Amino acid sequence: MLQVKNLSFGYTDNPVLKDINFTVKSGENLAIIGESGSGKSTILKLIFGEYDLEHGQVFWKNTEILGPKHNLVVGYDFMKYVTQEFDLMPYTSVANNIGKHLSRFYPEEKEKRTQELITIVELDNFAQTKVKNLSGGQKQRVALARALAKEPEILLLDEPFSHIDNFKKQSLRRNVFNYLKEKNITCVVATHDKNDVLGFADEMLVLHNKKIIAKDTPQNLYKNPKLPLIASFFEEFNSVNNTIYYAHQLKIVDHSDLKAIVKQSYFNGNSWLVEAIHNEHLIYISHPESINADEMIHFKILD
């Protein structure tokens, strides 16, 4: 189990995190979400032991994670961290970057393991390519594979798919998160992308104003977002009568006391997002078709 206890931290006199407490069970996936600058990356760095802690403690199982004052080399063998920068060897091939930390005394095992990881990050056609000739997204995939090479007990991922294009993102997420579950690797992932969370995280933690404002399963937070900040992470939403409704929870009907004037319709793939003015406020409603500007609509709230 990972335990973060009473953690408060600032790079300067300005606090970045205040009184952070949470645990992650072995083999579970915790997503940390929050706006840019809310301290997601800082939490990962503190879990990794990059800084000495003045307030609070971090434990992995029975080991207290200590910072540079106590460790000549930052980090521990059981933990890997894929940062927002990737820190690869540019003049070396993809395969050699991934296998770098695997023992050369077991060449067959090393080869097999490297190949397995190359397939997980879908870089089979680039195994012998030098890293300097790869795109940003491809480099990010090499960094992921390298972190997995030695099968850490716990993996820290910072915006792990941010550089990867939409064509590859979906399958890569499934490959990586399924692999972690299969190997029972505990994972903490910082992200601002709901697709990294829904379907993969066992729990999610929301950071705001230096504190944890919610921690629950993605299902519970989605169904009952409580705060606009949480709802906005998932979808377009409305506040009607002080209650939060997603765009798909409002429905355009023929007759209703709730009226609005359409401003614009946005194509959204499976549906259109109709932007309209209701009681001088903008509202957003999912609808199967586009509706012209200035039309009056009636809508109801679905339970």
- Tell me the closest approach of the beta carbon of residue 55 to ligand ADP, in angstroms: 16
Comparing CB distances to ligand ADP, the nearer of 90 and 136 is: 136
Residues within the interface to ligand ADP (CB under 6 A): 11, 16, 34, 36-42, 190
Comparing CB distances to ligand ADP, the nearer of 153 and 158 is: 158
Tell me if 214 sits within 8 A of 226, measured CB to CB: yes
**Rule CB under 5 A: is residue 41 a binding residue for Mg ion?**
yes
Task: Kindly state the number of chain residues that form the binding site for Mg ion, as judged by CB under 5 A.
Answer: 2
- Tell me the closest approach of the beta carbon of residue 33 to Mg ion, in angstroms: 11
* Residue 113 half-sphere exposure toward CB, CA atoms < 13 A: 21
Partner interacting with residue 39 (select from ligand ADP, Mg ion, none; CB below 5-8 Å by kind): ligand ADP
Comparing CB distances to ligand ADP, the nearer of 208 and 251 is: 208
Partner interacting with residue 267 (select from Mg ion, ligand ADP, none; CB below 5-8 Å by kind): none
- Tell me the closest approach of the beta carbon of residue 105 to ligand ADP, in angstroms: 38
Comparing CB distances to ligand ADP, the nearer of 38 and 286 is: 38
- Tell me the closest approach of the beta carbon of residue 150 to Mg ion, in angstroms: 24
- Interacting span for Mg ion (CB under 5 A) from 38-46, 68-76, 180-188, 196-204: 38-46
Q: Nearest Cα to 74, choosing from 53, 50, 101? A: 50
Distance (Å, whole) CA 279 – CA 188 = 42
Comparing CB distances to Mg ion, the nearer of 159 and 275 is: 159
Partner interacting with residue 191 (select from Mg ion, ligand ADP, none; CB below 5-8 Å by kind): none
Comparing CB distances to Mg ion, the nearer of 158 and 275 is: 158
- Tell me the closest approach of the beta carbon of residue 158 to Mg ion, in angstroms: 6
Distance (Å, whole) CA 39 – CA 208 = 9
- Tell me the closest approach of the beta carbon of residue 36 to ligand ADP, in angstroms: 4
- Tell me the closest approach of the beta carbon of residue 189 to Mg ion, in angstroms: 11
Comparing CB distances to Mg ion, the nearer of 40 and 146 is: 40
Interface with Mg ion by CB under 5 A: which residues?
Answer: 40-41
